[in-house]
Amino acid sequence: MARVSTYLNFPGNTEEAFNFYEKIFNSKISSPIVRFKDMPGGPPTAQGEENCIIHIELPIIGGHVIMATDVLASSGQSVSIGTNTTINLEVDSKEEADKLYADLSEGGSSSTGMQDMPWGYWGCTLDKFGIRWMFNVSNGEMQAS
């Protein structure tokens, strides 16, 4: 089933932020918390980063869901305005994801290409207006250990 959510990047304090948001929105985390150590064949992490969060979800208002990850400095990434918020489009097919990706990438930059990942089919692009878009087609296989 298709849905739209907002994806947030944090510099290592995702869990703290989501504990705060749980209180603010009187809500509960709605999926297993997936840590970098839980990711099969996941990216290498520096000591102390293995418990950082790679995925978390929290419903907020009107059925809208916020999701997040910790951005790891050891991977050469950083969080800044423009990289901290992404509109996440969860669609029903690879074909739909490919079309949306191609259309939103036109004239944009910083595109990953669409690719198979452990959780499904994924890609991310920055459109020509500076808005980050993420595309996901779930295969239903990603779970926390």
Q: Given the DSSP bridges, would you call strands 132-138 and 120-126 parallel, antiparallel or unpaired? A: antiparallel
pLDDT at 51: 92
Q: % helix / strand / coil in the chain, to the nearest 5?
A: 20, 30, 45
Alpha-carbon gap, residue 23 to 49, rounded angstroms: 25
pLDDT at 16: 93
pTM of the model: 0.74
Alpha-carbon gap, residue 38 to 19, rounded angstroms: 20
Length, in residues, of the chain: 145
pLDDT at 58: 96
Helix, coil or strand: residue 90 = strand
Q: Identify the bridge partners of residue 35 per DSSP, sorted by sequence position.
A: 53
Alpha-carbon gap, residue 114 to 62, rounded angstroms: 30
Alpha-carbon gap, residue 94 to 53, rounded angstroms: 26
Residue numbers of the chain with a pLDDT score lower than 70: 141-145
Domain coordinates in residue numbering, the chain: 3-138
The CATH code for residues 3-138 is 3.10.180.10
pLDDT at 142: 53
Helix, coil or strand: residue 86 = strand
Helix, coil or strand: residue 36 = helix
